[in-house]
Structure 1
């Protein structure tokens, strides 16, 4: 396997460079490579300081999702971060793009952090039912205080570079657009005494802040009382003020493993995976990209598409002609007719009467009662035509799920609407029928639509996942 972490000396600065496209995720090869490259740098007598940077469009954007649910492989990330922090040579992290989750924890283990303009940092593990498990709940409070750390960790929000600098998460913003130049400049400034490197873990523990802890706990109890990991985040951050770094890290690890064992973690990660590629039509061959679309009639969705069209090579018009490849048709009798040669995509709300195949269209775009996710249903279109339309919508930054024959979203909506007192159970029953009927390409698409468009609890993963788990548990306990 090609190495994804490299070491090279530039004059008297050793550079550790991560190259694991597309987002430099912290898989096993990267973790092992970081330790190997660190050893090279520490043993290089010509290197007086070290720089950690990444190739491509981003720094480390987080964990390798392919390892989710797998047994941990050594070295685990907390060990890597501890080794980086223990470096006997000044160690500069250069951030660009995003430094998220374990990526930010790696940076917190370095002795100085410089970011390029436009960088965003964050610890979004709570959105996957977890907490930062490689020192983030202990090192971040030492930089920003308990209150700010609680806000950032329990929300999982991304922090722009300017705010990260003012909070103290990073030490500097470098105007250059080259990570290597920024890192070398910061390293030389440290060696010349112009900037100060420091070990985050050796900073004074943050002052206890029981008022902030009570306030954030009350907020979470009001907003997400059913969730597990946000409250474990509070416990971990509170531990940063108590008994020193080693004990805080021990408590963090204990709480992290509790989150790992929580059913909510599995449900939230299932929902995360469900959202990765719902626009892909299985077995669709190559088809010409749609670059000329007509929007016929009036619909709020059309405004969003027009706003995003300028960032694409797609031309939108309300007057179709012979060059138009597809028409999105809202219910408006005053709209121009779609040329016979065009792919016809009719819009229909999820709560509409009638079936999609009643419409004179090859595809039906079903719009939700809430949220922005839409469903593209193939009625008479080929797999290639459906994929081309879905790709065009995605290029226009419209999140879309593909399905066939009849709308998953409409069926789930009807089931929930018919049982207002037990919407979740109704959607779970409907999801099993939809899967059996073969309307979905992936059962996770049912879950995604229910979560994003119909308010099914995200931490349960979705109605089909939950119904399948329930059926499995029932069969295991049946005599």
Structure 2
């Protein structure tokens, strides 16, 4: 049996347990293991009911990102969910932490869903240019109705357990904080006839709701007219109302594959990966943590940092002391009173980037005109020093992109403002120059800053991503 999924019987209840840290992602080994364990449970004559649960801090948080962009391997998720739903024995899913994307679709394929306190569920595939492709657009409307399904799937938002219970996504909340105990309790209640299990796919098709469909389509045409997948989500949900369940699944698959083929899907997934670790300096080792930082001057960021300091284990002071390791200096203030042994980090609004060379600082924290993502530029600091500062900012709940010598954000900002009528093309041209100059550690960092701080369209993936695609297409079609 696959090592990351195990089967064990507790009296007359068989338990299928996923153990694939850190988030029990639905990689090939998990999908295969689920089917192997399901078969073992179904063939176990001593098991009258089955429980599906997961170890660790969460249920299934979604797909395995390591498989993104690769050819699918059997068994694919729709097949796994269909097999779970077809189980001849009652099958209880126990949710804790998060049940997202394919994780929620797995749960929807089970016959009863119980959640622990603090659980959140959702189908966020639309944020990656996709739609739920393992029956989510067909099973969810059967539980919550068309209007609610449209809102949840086209927004991709996470739903707290209490709301999920009220909507009908889950069947019960269990105050116990141990998934195994909650699952065994629900399974025994079903065997005693105290609770009722059901196959979601066998529920009646949801009532047609053309008014809701028209309303959500009109909303999306105002909010995201340029996007592809939200409108395919509407079509898939609409199919749940006027076709048989198997026909609805077929239509969902067609629309899912259309989204997979969309350039927007590639762009949104590129943007997703770009945001994974932009604070990491490739050349850095394991620098000592910065735990004593002086905040020189006044800035709104400082108040936010003070609210996170205790949790981060960082002592913040208004003036340097003997133990101070770094000084964070507000715009317009001078780091003159910072000891020479301290790392000097100057805050600088992006529109004042012309002052960067004049700052007496080892690092410059560039602040954009919008958004919360900042850029940490190494102007004199070593790789380890920059990493230590980036780690401290992350501990204070501040997202940063690291760069060196010159500000990527400032160059993109200047390009966009120089050509306001065609700022997208201007940022694309600037991104190619920035990548060649070597000021970025990763070209994806350019894309992330443009998307999060300067409003570059996310579905295009970022200016460097798009410019590279354009250049490649041009070279392929040139004589």
Q: Which TM class, normalised by the smaller chain length?
A: over 0.9
Report how far residue 477 of structure 1 moved: 1.2
Give the secondary-structure state (helix, strand or coil) at the position aligned to 1:53.
strand
Report how far residue 331 of structure 1 moved: 2.2
Residue matched to 1:367: 367
Contact 2:446 2:464 in 1 (8 A): yes
Report how far residue 444 of structure 1 moved: 0.1
Using the alignment, how far apart are the partners of 2:128 and 2:310 within structure 1? 33
Using the alignment, how far apart are the partners of 1:346 and 1:274 within structure 2? 25
How has the CA–CA distance of structure 1 residues 407 and 335 changed in structure 2, closer, same or farther, with 3 Å as cutoff?
closer
Q: Deviations over 1:66-97 (max 9, x none)?
A: 11110010000000000000000000000000
- Moved segments of 4+, more than 6 Å: none
Using the alignment, how far apart are the partners of 2:209 and 2:169 within structure 1? 19
Pair 1:58 & 2:58 matched: yes
Give the secondary-structure state (helix, strand or coil) at the position aligned to 2:94.
strand
Report how far residue 353 of structure 1 moved: 4.3
Using the alignment, how far apart are the partners of 1:244 and 1:311 within structure 2? 53
Using the alignment, how far apart are the partners of 2:109 and 2:40 within structure 1? 18
Could you tell me the TM-score, scaled by structure 1's length?
Answer: 0.99
Residue matched to 1:193: 193
Using the alignment, how far apart are the partners of 2:436 and 2:66 within structure 1? 28
Report how far residue 212 of structure 1 moved: 0.2
Using the alignment, how far apart are the partners of 2:306 and 2:49 within structure 1? 50
Residue matched to 1:328: 328
Using the alignment, how far apart are the partners of 2:202 and 2:307 within structure 1? 49
Contact 1:390 1:402 in 2 (8 A): yes
Contact 1:7 1:15 in 2 (8 A): yes
Residue matched to 2:18: 18
Contact 1:165 1:172 in 2 (8 A): yes
Query: Which structure 2 residues correspond to residues 199-218 of structure 1 after superposition, within 5 A?
Result: 199-218=199-218
Give the secondary-structure state (helix, strand or coil) at the position aligned to 2:241.
coil
Using the alignment, how far apart are the partners of 2:336 and 2:439 within structure 1? 32
Residue matched to 1:423: 423
Q: Report the aligned-residue RMSD.
A: 1.2
Residue matched to 2:44: 44
Contact 1:298 1:332 in 2 (8 A): no
Contact 1:296 1:336 in 2 (8 A): no
Pair 1:231 & 2:212 matched: no
Using the alignment, how far apart are the partners of 2:473 and 2:303 within structure 1? 46
Report how far residue 307 of structure 1 moved: 2.1
Worse-superposed segment, 465-474 or 126-135: 465-474
Report how far residue 333 of structure 1 moved: 4.0
Residue matched to 2:80: 80
How has the CA–CA distance of structure 1 residues 190 and 336 changed in structure 2, closer, same or farther, with 3 Å as cutoff?
farther
Using the alignment, how far apart are the partners of 1:52 and 1:296 within structure 2? 54
Report how far residue 335 of structure 1 moved: 8.3
Give structure 1 stretches of 5+ with no counterpart: none
Report how far residue 308 of structure 1 moved: 2.0
Using the alignment, how far apart are the partners of 1:243 and 1:134 within structure 2? 17
Report how far residue 143 of structure 1 moved: 0.3
Query: Which structure 2 residues correspond to residues 52-451 of structure 1 after superposition, within 5 A?
Result: 52-333=52-333, 337-451=337-451
Contact 2:268 2:461 in 1 (8 A): yes
Contact 2:2 2:32 in 1 (8 A): no
Number of paired residues?
479
Q: Deviations over 1:146-186 (max 9, x none)?
A: 00000000000000000000000000110011000000000
Report how far residue 334 of structure 1 moved: 8.3
Contact 1:13 1:184 in 2 (8 A): yes
Using the alignment, how far apart are the partners of 1:279 and 1:48 within structure 2? 51
Using the alignment, how far apart are the partners of 2:308 and 2:248 within structure 1? 46
